[in-house]
Structure 1
Amino acid sequence: MKKGQSKNNQEVGGFLKGVERIGNKLPHPAILFVILSVVVIIASEIVSRMGTTVTYYDAKAAEEVTVSALSLFNAEGLAYIFNSATTNFTGFAPLGTVLVAMLGVGVAEWTGLFDATLKKLLLNANKKILTPIVVFTGIMSNIASDAGYVVVIPIGAMIFAMAGRHPLAGLAAAFAGVSGGFSANLALGTTDPLLTGITNEALKAGGIDMVLAPTCNWYFLFVSTFVLTIVGTFVTDKIVEKNLGTYTGEYEPDRSEVTPLENKGLRNALIALLIFVAIMAFLMFPKNAVFRALDEASGKMKLNNFLNNGLIPAILLLFLVPGYVYGKTVGKIKTTHDLVTAMTSAMESMGAYMVLAFFASQFVAFFGKTNLGVIVSVKGAEFLESIGLTGIPLIILFILVAAFLNLFMGSASAKWAIMAPIFVPMMYKLGLHPALTQVAYRIGDSSTNIITPLMSYFAMIVVFMQKYEKDSGLGTLISMMLPYSMAFLISWTIMMILWMLIGLPVGPEAPLFI
């Protein structure tokens, strides 16, 4: 290796190690969320006393909204803090998703199905292709909405550990794909119609006679899937894993040969899985399938309700059924007591997450209640509008502003409902197609998901990480994910610039310019 290359690696490692050290010197993540909650309470009082008010057109509600900062540092605020604590926790978006899915995932792990499957797949596999597979799978998992957070990320760590690589590098690669690449995919996901619906409302509010289809970003996001897979692979192999060094933790996967009994268990589990998938397909895909419901907006039978509410129980069964069959075959599950023990074991491992989720849920709820996120988003949008840029410079700055605002307001749809009525008509008047504006927003919104504690699943990722490194914390996670965030943001923005220079449409019937 050349001297210059060695020096660069040391500089990168030194910077990231510095981020990790500083972050991990902070209190335990649970206590850190308590401190952040106190900061939000104080900030809400200060901003409220300043009389800060913003007015914007909410594309979701299809009406103009005026909001001001609500202080939690008064009698009403104190009452809210105590009265809402329980519902903040029980209503925390990832809580039900994680716990329900883990009942099934826990059975598959406890019976040894995961270990046997990974041994079968990885013992003779080429380790060089593991990273792109993990990143690509993470990106594709957003078809199933948030399921990738619960399933793909922990399995990414297990795959790397089984292959003799650092498990946190596998976790980071999967997290980068699932969350950093949330908007990219080869197929349409649940986010596409959601954001496009908001864009159409913004067009209507702006008096623009145009309606976008949910496929309006598909060409760009299709290509983005491969670009982000390549970038994510490079960052994992050349930066993150090198910076992590040799794994010295206590976790030691079973790398023994697959026994004949385990092979029989895998065969039976696969048969059970195929039968389950066939049944679910019958319930989902025929024209009048059980899981289809009438969509009032389109008048068609759609899976929207199932995808939003029924998918997680389906994922529970997706792992529980083959896990149970495998356990019965190899003798790990003999009675129903063993099955319940497997699920109980999964819940025991979630104890640390439950504690962390309680305090994280309060912080997220307080931030939303005070309207600080909305105020920051509207002020940021007004700032960008006042700059007066056009063309590529405007798109670049728009992406950067969306990425910055995502640090303060995690919900992609809520943030777009604020920004779309401002920017969609504005950019339309400047000759930029609304589909281009929407996809530029998605670049910024996705890229910084993986470095903001306001992202709903951030606390859960910390808990997954501590399975392999007990002393790891927010500093470890942010230092691992920062290279992905910056690399995705830069490469995706460059891709957008090249796309505009060439003049390619971002989707069917979605040219770049008006």
Structure 2
Amino acid sequence: MTSTATPTGSERLPWIIRAMGVVERVGNALPHPFWLFWILAAILAVISAICAAAGVSVISPGDGEEVVVQSLLSGDGLAMAVSTMVSNFAEFPPMATIVVVIMGVAVAERTGFLTAAMKTGISRVPVGWVVFAVAFTGTVAHVASAAAYIILVPLGGLAFRAVGRSPILGIVVAYTAIASGYDASPIPTPNDAIFAGITTAAAQIVDESAYVSPVSNWFFNIASSLLLAAVITLMTKFVLSKRPDLDADEDADDGDFGSLQLDGRERRALRWSLLALLAAIVVIAAVVIPGGSPLRGEDGSLTESPFLTGIAAIVAVLFGLAGIVYGTLSGSITRPGDVPALMGQGIKQMAPVLVLFFAIAQFLAYFDWTHLGDVVAVNSAEALKTSNIPVWVVFLLVLALLSIVNVLVTSGSAMWSIAAPVLVPMLMLLAVPPETTQALFRIADSGSTAITPMSPYFVMALGFLQRYRKDAGIGTLASYTLPLAIAMSLAWTALFFVWWALGIPLGPGAPVR
């Protein structure tokens, strides 16, 4: 029996189609994030002028000095905006870090190393573990950034079909694991560098010496990826697999999705590249572990050390090394000049993000210069203190707010750039470390991503799904992903509160409270 003989997800859940339609129309009405930040800058200028004229100020809790709002619509404001435009961009915290990381990851991705590693990881697990394997690989796949969707979503369908299960289910599991678990990677990713840079800039509104490392949420991320993979596995077994519309069309085929199997040359290349990666990690560990290591900080500290400060470069080198070994042995690298060319392709792929960074960097610099962030953060923190609202309630409110915004603003860097300058200082004044606020953002930034048609990868996943179900639509895919996304968000939120209650560090040198 084909799927056309059974009710589709959109037929059983018509409200999803209506809700997704509203989201899509509202989201399409929003300007491109690049222009959104310039619009926000214009609004900021007007608000700063009004507040400056009214003499709005606040007493800084750090040094007890009065901080007065400055107007962007003034001579000083114009001079600042013009004179700092280049330096704002050049010194934007995530800029250099993300470029360095991407150069290494690009080599690993474009030589085929990441694809080969994912295929091997999925194809060699026992049949009963295929759901968990695809789900967990979805969280690991984020090292490839957006390419994770292109690589893993079709592989999910192949993996499920190979063990006699519905390829539709495989695509849904792979897509949801990537989208709604996007910020839970157990391996440091380019996003970690972006978020850490934005969080650092926001934290410096309160503390000029604040620094948030790209691995500041690493411990929490590892636990999150395992938990989310387990939740997806259970929900797939007890909910999604019970659906009657999981059969692929009779004429469906895998087309050019490829195969899970590697040829002899690819297997040899993967084996040696993994050995090279392991050897490099051992060498790094041997250098870092001794108390007198030059990569440690004062008094042998590892939490404030050159090692953690340079972790982005180390990650880039490790991925680059694995990619070079794999590419050389597999034939995707034929001469030394291919390596910088691959790095350049990675940077080219990131060009839209770098353009967005230019607008974000100006907005954040303007926000900091006006001191509106100080006023909002201090007054909000004081209001929360006097209202005696428990901090865990504040956490829930932050999660709810960011989750709603994420449905419309699916760019994580854009949303965090808007929210961080207010939320990070406000919660810091409530004795909540910036790393903890960033962990909250991770949950909200991921949870609703799998259900919103505003994400370009939602449309991409729908295209893969239609290879097996020609009648599938937006409501169909949303009805598949909705129960998974809800369960993942609830479980991830519960994990955060347990983590926070127990006081477990979120990462190296990053206390949760």
- Fold-level match, TM-score > 0.5? yes
2:297 is matched with: 293
User: Larger deviation: 327-336 or 443-452?
Assistant: 443-452
Amino acid at match of 1:398: V
Give, in whole Å, the separation in 1 of the partners of 2:318 and 2:400: 37
1:87 is matched with: 87
Give, in whole Å, the separation in 2 of the partners of 1:41 and 1:333: 51
Give, in whole Å, the separation in 2 of the partners of 1:442 and 1:154: 24
User: Larger deviation: 36-45 or 77-86?
Assistant: 36-45
1:162 is matched with: 155
1:99 Cα deviation (Å)? 1.0
Contact 1:157 1:171 in 2 (8 A): no
- Can you list the C-alpha shifts for 1:358-412, whole angstroms capped at 9, x where unaligned? 12222232223223333222222222223245xxxx3443324555898787797
The answer to whether the aligner puts 1:276 opposite 2:280 as a matched pair is yes
The answer to whether the aligner puts 1:398 opposite 2:401 as a matched pair is no
1:37 to 23, 41, 44: 41
1:252 Cα deviation (Å)? 6.4
The answer to whether the aligner puts 1:27 opposite 2:31 as a matched pair is yes
Q: Structure 1 residues 507, 30: closer, same or farther in 2, change over 3 A?
A: closer
Give, in whole Å, the separation in 2 of the partners of 1:489 and 1:16: 19
2:59 is matched with: 55
1:266 to 257, 270, 276: 270
Amino acid at match of 2:280: F
Amino acid at match of 1:119: K
2:502 to 501, 506, 513: 506
Q: How does 1:42-441 map to 2 (within 5 A)?
A: 42-58=46-62, 63-123=63-123, 127-130=130-133, 132-134=135-137, 137=140, 151=144, 154-155=147-148, 158-164=151-157, 173-174=177-178, 176-177=180-181, 179=183, 254-255=258-259, 257-294=261-298, 299-302=299-302, 304-388=304-388, 394-400=390-396, 402-403=398-399, 419-420=427-428, 423=430
The two structures have a TM-score, normalised by structure 2, of 0.64
| % same residue | 23
- Give SS of 2:332's match: coil
1:286 Cα deviation (Å)? 2.1
Give, in whole Å, the separation in 1 of the partners of 2:175 and 2:92: 23
In structure 1, runs of 5+ residues without a counterpart are 139-147, 183-189, 203-216, 425-433, 453-460, 471-475, 509-514
- Give SS of 2:64's match: strand
- Give SS of 1:342's match: helix
User: Larger deviation: 327-336 or 437-446?
Assistant: 437-446
1:304 Cα deviation (Å)? 2.4
- Give SS of 2:59's match: strand
Give, in whole Å, the separation in 2 of the partners of 1:373 and 1:383: 15
Contact 1:168 1:465 in 2 (8 A): no
- Give SS of 1:336's match: coil
RMSD (CA atoms): 5.2
In structure 2, runs of 5+ residues without a counterpart are 158-167, 187-194, 208-216, 249-254, 403-414, 449-453, 464-473, 505-513
1:178 Cα deviation (Å)? 5.6
Give, in whole Å, the separation in 1 of the partners of 2:91 and 2:462: 29
- Give SS of 1:378's match: helix
1:37 Cα deviation (Å)? 2.1
1:206 is matched with: none
Q: Structure 1 residues 178, 130: closer, same or farther in 2, change over 3 A?
A: same
Give, in whole Å, the separation in 2 of the partners of 1:71 and 1:483: 47
Q: Structure 1 residues 447, 131: closer, same or farther in 2, change over 3 A?
A: same
- Give SS of 1:54's match: strand
Contact 1:377 1:405 in 2 (8 A): no
Q: Structure 1 residues 120, 403: closer, same or farther in 2, change over 3 A?
A: closer
Q: Structure 1 residues 6, 37: closer, same or farther in 2, change over 3 A?
A: same
Give, in whole Å, the separation in 2 of the partners of 1:345 and 1:181: 24
Q: Structure 1 residues 100, 318: closer, same or farther in 2, change over 3 A?
A: same
The two structures have a TM-score, normalised by structure 1, of 0.64
Give, in whole Å, the separation in 2 of the partners of 1:44 and 1:289: 49
Give, in whole Å, the separation in 2 of the partners of 1:275 and 1:267: 12
2:508 is matched with: none
1:36 Cα deviation (Å)? 2.2
Give, in whole Å, the separation in 2 of the partners of 1:351 and 1:220: 30
Give, in whole Å, the separation in 1 of the partners of 2:495 and 2:341: 50
Contact 2:138 2:178 in 1 (8 A): yes
User: Larger deviation: 310-319 or 112-121?
Assistant: 112-121
Q: Structure 1 residues 451, 284: closer, same or farther in 2, change over 3 A?
A: same
Q: Structure 1 residues 27, 291: closer, same or farther in 2, change over 3 A?
A: same
Q: Structure 1 residues 39, 467: closer, same or farther in 2, change over 3 A?
A: farther
Give, in whole Å, the separation in 1 of the partners of 2:364 and 2:447: 15
Contact 2:228 2:488 in 1 (8 A): yes
Give, in whole Å, the separation in 1 of the partners of 2:436 and 2:329: 51
Contact 1:292 1:302 in 2 (8 A): yes
Give, in whole Å, the separation in 2 of the partners of 1:372 and 1:235: 45
User: Larger deviation: 304-313 or 118-127?
Assistant: 118-127
Give, in whole Å, the separation in 1 of the partners of 2:139 and 2:84: 39
User: Larger deviation: 8-17 or 37-46?
Assistant: 8-17
1:485 Cα deviation (Å)? 9.5
1:261 Cα deviation (Å)? 1.0
Give, in whole Å, the separation in 1 of the partners of 2:100 and 2:218: 32
- Can you list the C-alpha shifts for 1:469-508, whole angstroms capped at 9, x where unaligned? 99xxxxx9xxx999999877766666788x79xxx96248
User: Larger deviation: 480-489 or 39-48?
Assistant: 480-489
Amino acid at match of 2:132: I
Give, in whole Å, the separation in 1 of the partners of 2:57 and 2:394: 23
1:100 Cα deviation (Å)? 0.6
Q: Structure 1 residues 119, 259: closer, same or farther in 2, change over 3 A?
A: same
1:465 Cα deviation (Å)? 8.9
Aligned residues: 420
- Can you list the C-alpha shifts for 1:324-345, whole angstroms capped at 9, x where unaligned? 1111112222221122222222
1:265 Cα deviation (Å)? 0.9
